[in-house]
Structure 1
Amino acid sequence: MTSELRVLRSDDWDVWLSCLERAFGGVPNAPESRALWRELVAYDRSIGLWDGQACVGTAGAYAFRLTVPGGAAVPAAGVTMVSVAGTHRRRGLLRTLMRRQLDDVRSWGEPLAVLTASEPAIYGRFGYGAATRALNLSVDTARVRLAAPPGTDDVRVRYTDPVAALPACEEVYGRLAAERPGTPVRQPKWELTSVLDTAQDRAGASPLQCVLAERDGEVLGYATFRVRPDWDRAGPKGTVSLRNLGALDAASYAALWRFLFGIDLTSTLEAGGRPVDEPLTHLVSDVRRCEARVEDSLYVRLVEVGAALEARAYRTPVDVVLEVADDFCPWNAGRWHLVADAKGGASCRRAPDRAPDLELSVAELGAGYLGGVSFTSLAAAGRVREVRPGAVEEVSSAFSWHVEPWLPHGF
């Protein structure tokens, strides 16, 4: 097959997106969704493969800034909209797209690439490691009680219009994003994705609803959600589906959850994509009736090993030589000397003449980069090889962080 790989043009958009939609099952996006994604897409950072007039492959990369341990917002390519037409499988087209994209990301000076994977088996061969996890809860609110901390009764929870509340919600989001590795710093217009509300998205539930948590007139938290009414012969058994929730203190956090638990005519609260260290699990009377399930979330790829490791902070001092294998981006391969103290300073330089302390691939380095995956665990799985005794413990301690990394929204 003779194919053309080219940067996306605005007049290619409809055909390009239709190729993507077909690859993901063929259900078209709602017109409102299609319009918003067209506004957000970075045409000069998106590519397509063309077989004549037919688009047979797609890939995009948003210009994100990702919070890393220590609070820095590091430039990162938010890889998205990756697909290959079913008629063109097993021809190396995905590899072609990934090769061009990572070369582009490097040329843009972005040390990280991140994505969420439709299928976890796909992206490891391109150097991506699963770096964050998400907690999914289905709470039986008819039987589970909430133990609210002192001060919860001082918080006022009130309904508001989701769009009108966006500035207040974004203020809370921004403050929380600076504290949580894995969280994208919101770029212009991305706040609109949090209130996108189409009939297709609702699937029989209500339009998006919003409440704010306030104390003395200050907004300290928010929650957006839908309610799906349901009844059986015994009475009402509706479901509350949480979309987003953020709060700046424990009382406001508990007040929002207490409100959600108490919505009339409902008996189930579904909360997906939450951080695995969700404080709610310490407030409920019966965690087993919350049906907790953990799944992979954000995948991280170090595009420039040295720059990426220098960009984050470390919890404990570290002085280690890492031998990194990276067949797909060979400029990363080799030995890197990482030295960091616990005050925020880090140096990572080439060290071809130094003996390695640890041997690992770039995918394992990506998995542990945000502090949510222990190098001790990776070593126990045979994914990291310790050369110098004690190096695994040293690196695991240094890369760990006091909160779990979390991706609060998809892209």
Structure 2
Amino acid sequence: MGTDLRVLRPDDWHQWYDKLIRAFGGVPEPSEERELWNALTEVDRSIGAWDGDVCVGTAGAFSFRLTVPGEASVPAAGVTMVSVAATHRRRGVLRSMMRRQLDDVREWGWPLAVLTASEPAIYGRFGYGAATHHVNVEVDTSRVRLSAPPGTDDVRLRYAAPADVLDACEAVYARKVPGRPGMPARLPGWERLALLDPESGRDGASPLQCVVAERGGEVVGYARFRVKPEWETAGPEGVVLLRDTEALDAAAHAALWRFLFEIDLTSTLKAWGRPIDEPWLSMVSDIRRCGLRVRDSLYVRLVDVGAALEARTYQAPVDVVFEVEDDFCPWNAGRWRLTGDAKGASCRRTTDAADLALSVRELGAAYLGGMSLASLGAAGRVREIRQGALGEAAVGFGSVVSPWLPHGF
């Protein structure tokens, strides 16, 4: 039996999405969540694999603009909703969708494709490299204290209904986006993701709560969270479940995290998907009682090597010739000379001798500055041809702050 690939039509969406849900276990989503993803899906950038009139494969792409080192906002395809029916595994359905999708992204003129992987082993063969990591934490707030910087007490905190302050919170988020690689600018409609609060997903916790931080009447930070009351024989053991938080300066950041640490009747703070260099981690009295667990997050694929490497800047001067291997997108294969610094970069085809040899997967992993080329070299995944070239490139590719993806897609 063969399958046909075609661009999604609006009236295909529900069957297409049902197949995606089944591939991820078959548990129905709350209606408000399903309606939101229906509204956000870009049907003209989504494809389905069809066996007759039955959808057996799904893949979509969101039109993102992603921050890269140097604060540029670069077009990127946010690859999403990828699945293959269990009845059609090992027939090349996934490969054909990945092939079609990357050809489309190239045709759109976007230099990057990015995704989050349900299973890390899947996407490396298509040229995606793990470019960002995040940390999940479980803090024993009964025993860990936060040392706040001067000015923290000048920040005013107040509760607000999440929907009432959504615009102010989104303005804070927008101001943070240029300063950290990996953050996507939120297009209209995506702000609704932060307000999703189905009762079925609370697991005994409160409805979503929000506290905003203000200085001089201006909102300079926010935290959205739930509280799950729990009681033991000895007394309250409630849990604070952090959804998301952003702040524009150190004092606002400290004020919000101190508040989260000290909510009455709680003794644990759980947070998922936080930056691995988030400032509060340097303020705690006992990092061992913060239950840190690091995991992979955003995977990056350079669809156009030259355009992608030119789009970012480099924290130290680089002048290096890469020998790039890219079997899946052969237009990237060959030698590229990258020259750049903190002001800009140029990346062009060359016949000069190579300094470093690597695959496009390693370039994707190092692209946002979170994964060191030197570390990849030590793992045998980057081969140094000119002595000293690996160290020079590794320094240039670094980032002052760790790249981070603030939410899934």
2:298 counterpart letter in structure 1: L
Tell me, in whole angstroms, the C-alpha distance in 1 between the residues paired with 2:54 and 2:16.
Answer: 9
Tell me, in whole angstroms, the C-alpha distance in 2 between the residues paired with 1:25 and 1:2.
Answer: 25
Structure 1: unaligned runs, 5 residues or longer: none
After superposition, the C-alpha distances for 1:264-283 in whole angstroms (9 at most, x for unaligned) are 11110001100010111111
TM-score by length of 2: 0.99
Say what the alpha-carbon RMSD is for the aligned residues: 0.7
2:399 counterpart letter in structure 1: W
The equivalent residue for 1:354 is 352
1:191 counterpart letter in structure 2: E
Secondary structure class of the residue paired with 2:179: coil
Tell me, in whole angstroms, the C-alpha distance in 2 between the residues paired with 1:203 and 1:71.
Answer: 39
- The alpha carbon displacement at 1:8 in A equals 0.6
Structure-to-structure mapping, 1:357-372, within 5 angstroms: 357-372=355-370
After superposition, the C-alpha distances for 1:224-272 in whole angstroms (9 at most, x for unaligned) are 0011111121111111010111001111100001111111111100011
Partner of residue 392 from structure 2, selected from 391, 394, 398: 394
1:408 counterpart letter in structure 2: P
The equivalent residue for 2:344 is 345
Tell me, in whole angstroms, the C-alpha distance in 1 between the residues paired with 2:146 and 2:348.
Answer: 50
The equivalent residue for 1:8 is 8
- The alpha carbon displacement at 1:341 in A equals 2.5
Tell me, in whole angstroms, the C-alpha distance in 2 between the residues paired with 1:306 and 1:379.
Answer: 21
Tell me, in whole angstroms, the C-alpha distance in 2 between the residues paired with 1:155 and 1:257.
Answer: 12
Secondary structure class of the residue paired with 2:396: helix
The equivalent residue for 2:287 is 287
Tell me, in whole angstroms, the C-alpha distance in 1 between the residues paired with 2:243 and 2:110.
Answer: 30
**What is the count of residue pairs matched by the alignment?**
409
2:385 counterpart letter in structure 1: V
- The alpha carbon displacement at 1:345 in A equals 1.8
TM-score by length of 1: 0.99
Tell me, in whole angstroms, the C-alpha distance in 1 between the residues paired with 2:123 and 2:203.
Answer: 31
Tell me, in whole angstroms, the C-alpha distance in 1 between the residues paired with 2:122 and 2:349.
Answer: 30
Structure-to-structure mapping, 1:150-229, within 5 angstroms: 150-229=150-229
- The alpha carbon displacement at 1:139 in A equals 0.2
- The alpha carbon displacement at 1:286 in A equals 0.5
Tell me, in whole angstroms, the C-alpha distance in 1 between the residues paired with 2:246 and 2:9.
Answer: 37
1:283 counterpart letter in structure 2: M
Q: Which contiguous aligned blocks of 4+ residues in structure 1 show a shift greater than 3 angstroms? A: none
Tell me, in whole angstroms, the C-alpha distance in 2 between the residues paired with 1:400 and 1:341.
Answer: 11
Percent pairwise identity: 69
1:406 lines up with 2:392 in the alignment = no
191-200 vs 380-389, which deviates more? 191-200
The equivalent residue for 1:38 is 38
The equivalent residue for 1:83 is 83
Partner of residue 379 from structure 1, selected from 366, 377, 382: 377
Structure-to-structure mapping, 1:199-278, within 5 angstroms: 199-278=199-278
The equivalent residue for 2:22 is 22
Tell me, in whole angstroms, the C-alpha distance in 1 between the residues paired with 2:319 and 2:2.
Answer: 50
The equivalent residue for 1:318 is 318
